[in-house]
Structures are given as C-alpha cells and as structure tokens.
Amino acid sequence: MKYKSIILVLALSLTSLFVSAHDYHTSITDVSYNPRTKSLEVAVKVFTDDLEDALSRRNKRKITYSKSGEVQRFLADYLQSSLTFEVAQGKPLKHTFVGAEEDADVIWAYVEVPLQATALSQLYVRNAVLTELFSDQMNIVNINYKGKVNSTLFQKDDGVKKISF
C-alpha cells in the first residue's frame, strides 16, 4: 500500500511537470466585426511562457510579462508585425492596441482594427504569431462577420490567406 502511494505521488508530479511545459504550440485569435464602430475587434490568446520567449527574442533581453508600459509596448509592436489584416491585398491596416490580461497560464491581448468599409466581401489575414519560435506552431483564426464564423489555420510560412464572406 505504501509503494502504491509513492508511485501515485510520483506519477502526479511528473504529469504536472509535463502539463506546465506544454508540448503543443497553439494560439487562438477571435475576430469580430463591429458594425457600429466599423472595426474589427481582435482577441489573441497565447501561452504566457511562449509570449515571453517571443518578446525576449525580439527585444534581445529577458522579458517577463507584466502590465508595465514597456512590456505592453513590446506586445503591441509584436502583434503589429506578426498579425495583419488587409481589405485590399498588399495594404495592411493599422491596429490599435487596446490592452492585455493574464488568465492563469495564458495572455489575452486585444487590438482594434478600424475599417473604412461598411461591408466586407473578403479579408486578407496573416497570423505569424510565435512561428519564429516553433516549427509546429498552429494559429487558429476565427472570424465572426455578421453572425457567420469562418475559421482558418495558419502554420509557419503560410503567409497571407484570403477569407471570403
């Protein structure tokens, strides 16, 4: 009985070790069109440790996520360069960084993308978040436009994809 308890404790310890060092590399980006403001409201969910690694690599020093102005600027710049939206192909739209929040082991980052158009027939999207770190990175983008959701998977070297509505 004593050995079973020891084995159970060891197994649970090892399991929690593997869970904290996740073996999969995924981000989720939820995009919703807001007709009132004529903008895309974007929420990006990434693992905190992966984001810290990306920001550290980009800024050539160790970055630990915080609400500090400097870290938030680093995050805004990173998203501006790795996540793009275009109504006309080849003309990336500027985002406005709204903020970010920590939730357990993930960060939710929020941006708003103002649009001139009152209706969209297509949207060109590029999501290269964390692909500079992981060859197996998968970025799922869910776009909700007028109640219809289009989901697209982005992987390393995918480039821009056209989403039609």
pLDDT in tens, 39-59: 999 999 999 999 999 999 999
Query: What are the residues whose beta carbons fall under 8 Å from the beta carbon of 111, sequence distance 6 or more?
Result: 42, 44, 76, 79, 83, 95, 96, 97, 98
Domain boundaries, the chain: 23-164
pLDDT at residue 21, as a whole number: 59
pTM of the model: 0.85
pLDDT, tens digit (0-9, with 9 covering 90-100), for 61-110: 999 999 999 999 999 999 999 999 999 999 999 999 999 999 999 999 99
Name the residue with tokens 């939820």. Answer: 30
CA distances from 30 to 80, 87, 133, 141, 154 (A): 16, 17, 22, 6, 13
What is the mean predicted confidence (pLDDT) over 12-23? 49
